[in-house]
Amino acid sequence: MTAAPDLRARPAGAASAAFSPPGVLFAVLGLASLALPFVTLRANRIVLGEGLAPWAAAPGAFVAFTLAAVVLGLGLGVQRGRPWLRFGGSLLGLAGIVTLLALALPYLLEEAGDLARVSPAAGFWCLALVLMLLMADALSALRPGPWLRLGLLVAVLGALGLVLASGALDRLSIMLEYRGRADAFAQAAWRHVALSIGSLAAAAAIAFPLGIACHRSGRLRRAMVPLLSFVQTIPSLAMFGIMIPLLAWVAATVPGAREVGIAGIGFAPAFLALLLYSLLPVVANTLAGLDAVPPAAREAATGMGMTALQRLRSVELPLALPVMLAGLRIVLVQNIGLAVIAGLIGGGGFGTFVFQGLNQTATDLILLGALPTVVMALSAAIVMDVAVELTAPGGTR
């Protein structure tokens, strides 16, 4: 008689299949981050200070509660299934480290002196990065639609705004830097938006028609694409440097140029440099989108009696639009980052705080410029991704 199979036996690897390899990696990295200094207590804004472990940052009961939330959040990310639970775990972990940071401020500053500063240390930043990677991994498994992604972005930014508006982090060193520069920060934010989005709009107005013309003329294409590629190879610092003497000469020799704001330093050279960097991605993606239009669609439009302009407007551009918008996405994220360098030549933007902080060896002043730039770039990338998906065929769901 044949023995009955053992139904309790599990196939090899079944246990490991219940766990997500990225989740396990994030959990290990997150737990290792707990051994790093969580906050830094400094006598003033520029000295190095003393790094404190998470359990030394606040009273013991509060530390236990917040660290339990962090560990639980990391543990929820280990499992392979239930991506919404893994997403919730990342939010729980982020809430835990922010709460611990808020609790550390009054505890550490109570008797530290009026000039003392508390800043997030390596442990906080590593945990924040690990938990955000865990969130991204969960979202990739969820595959949310464009409108849900946009809603999640609004919710996350809204939660961040509520935390900052609550005053729980007001005594954090970077918030003290902001408080003394609130008006300058608002001006820098508007200037950064004007540089990045303004140069994007100007590039779109120039590069979309140029890309269409290059698609129609092979000779123009062979001339313009290598030229724009060469411009793209110029290092950013060198490009900003080239703009200074060029526009200084224009301001000195062209009547009325100085009156409209053209000068060797300031907004104009930064804007022009960003515009030049923006042309190649937009032209290249316009060409790629138009090249990808099916020949059958063009033939059908011609067979219906459409002129070349009608075919371009009604058939080719709508089909090429997602690829063209992808080029704008590349440019927008690129320009948000490159606009930081405008602070070196008086162009304003968040780079002003970055370079001021470098000159003063004030880390939190550097972060005051760097962190908004990162948030702005990530938000712009998500919004443009949504726009690309919505304009794709069937993307209105």
Where exactly are the structural domains of the chain? 14-143, 182-391
Question: Where does the pLDDT of residue 267 fall: very low under 50, low under 70, confident under 90, or very high at 90 and above?
Answer: confident
- Tell me the backbone φ, ψ of residue 394, rounded to 5 degrees: 75, 15
CATH code, 182-391: 1.10.3720.10
**pLDDT the model gives residue 154:** 93
Contact 333, 382 (CB under 8 A): no
The residues with which 228 forms a beta bridge, in sequence order, are none
Global confidence as pTM: 0.85
Question: Where does the pLDDT of residue 395 fall: very low under 50, low under 70, confident under 90, or very high at 90 and above?
Answer: low
**pLDDT the model gives residue 12:** 47
Residue 9 pLDDT exceeds 80: no
213-225 average pLDDT score: 90
Q: Is 235 helix (H, G, I), strand (E, B) or coil?
A: coil
Question: Where does the pLDDT of residue 242 fall: very low under 50, low under 70, confident under 90, or very high at 90 and above?
Answer: confident
Residue ranges of alpha helices (H) inside the chain are 14-17, 21-33, 60-76, 83-109, 122-142, 146-166, 173-179, 182-216, 218-233, 236-253, 267-291, 295-303, 308-311, 317-338, 351-360, 363-391
% of the chain with per-residue pLDDT over 70: 95
Q: Strand 117-120: give its sheet, edge to edge.
A: 50-52, 39-42, 117-120
Q: Which has more confidence, 263 or 210?
A: 210
Which pair of structure tokens corresponds to residue 395?
Answer: 């993307």
DSSP 56: G
Least confident range of 17-31, 116-130, 150-164, 320-334: 17-31
Give the sign of the dihedral formed by CA 333, CA 338, CA 343, CA 345.
negative
Least confident range of 16-20, 95-99, 261-265: 16-20
**pLDDT the model gives residue 191:** 93
Query: What's the mean pLDDT when you consider all of the chain?
Result: 87
Residues 378, 127, 93, 165, Cα dihedral to 10°: -60
**pLDDT the model gives residue 378:** 92
